[in-house]
Homo-oligomer: A and B are copies of this chain.
């Protein structure tokens, strides 16, 4: 009769998950990393060794004491599938435990179609079939609010979805655990497992792209808000009578510096032609167009002002910048850096921000990280689907 039966046996899963995502570690390292006692690690790893899920590797040169013995996962090939849904396509990747992408694809997608959820299911079924028995689960990133990662019901105006039962539908279609989450939050979770989260417990992940978003991680746990809608910084009001926003409000940050707003401004200032995209704006700025650079710097300045407010509210250790718009960060930064600093109280000016690398797979990779991070979920946010992932981790390891 386990103490936390609903959450499954958490420690063994965390150990497996940790070894999978970080590579071989000593028992002492595991204990420190998971904040559990060395005794528990010994107990747990003993069982895992006996079951053949883990094996003892070489010793490690000692640091003035008994040398550590590294433990490594036995199996190879385990992984998860991540999918990012947008208004016109779905990006799908398969990611190994260590975070490496070993296959990625993009599929056209029409979220407005009446059978959109079925189409999404079919599309993913093909990917799932290829990894039979080696798959921990499927993570899905959605541009919208997800009521609970576990239930996976989605409110996504961008896609025209309201109370869409994404989680339930995909679970039925795929027969594997499915975790659904807001797309920006998936990036925050990915940072938790593979990025800044290894060094910091509390951080923000701000994204620049079609919209402006923010993922909030507090003490290692994703903060979702009461209704799964936390981090909607794109709709922080930045002006009293600003431009109309797609959300129905006015003067939202996103209405000022979202992709559409940037394009509109650039057209007005004759930097790019009518109908040209934000890429043209980036190109012009890169080519030395002063007005183009100015448009981006102004956007950066406003972002800095908005993020200063968020930092005052949340007091994070660090802010990570991400998103497809990050490729033009050089130009944003000219406005961002002074503005961010200037609008922070002096005592908060030490708050650092850093720019993570970006590529097109990152959204889908983040979605996969949802699954790969679920062994560490101590808060129960991943619910029964998280438990299923942990079961699969136990079952699948060691079969190779």
Assembly CA distance A250 to B201 (angstroms): 30
Q: Are B343 and A249 in contact (CB under 8 A)?
A: yes
A169 CB → nearest B CB, Å: 21
Cβ contact within 8 Å between A232 and B315 = yes
Q: Is the CB of A223 within 8 A of B228?
A: no
Residue pair B347, A145 in contact (C-beta under 8 Å):
yes
Q: With a CB–CB cut-off of 8 A, which chain B residues contact A309? A: 233, 236-237, 309
Query: Which residue of the partner chain B has the closest CB to A315?
Result: B225
**Is the interface on chain A under 10, 10 to 19, 20 to 34, or 35 or more residues?**
35 or more
User: Which A residues from 273 to 320 make CB contacts under 8 A with B?
Assistant: 305, 308-310, 312-317
Contact B313 A232 (CB under 8 A): yes
Q: Does A214 contact B (CB under 8 A)?
A: yes
A374 in the interface, Cβ–Cβ < 8 Å?
Answer: no
B314 near A225: Cβ-Cβ < 8 Å: yes
- 8 Å CB contacts to B: which residues of A173-232? 201-202, 214, 216, 218, 223-232
A310 touching B308, Cβ below 8 Å = no
Could you tell me the distance between the alpha carbons of A189 and B252 in the complex, rounded to whole angstroms?
32
| Residues from chain B with Cβ under 8 Å of A346 in the complex | 247-249
- Among residues of B, the one whose C-beta sits closest to the C-beta of A251 is B343
Residue A337 CB within 8 A of the other chain: no
Complex alpha-carbon distance, A376 and B274, angstroms: 60
Q: Which residue of B lies closest to A229 (CB)?
A: B315
Residues from chain B with a CB closer than 8 A to the CB of A305 are: 237, 240
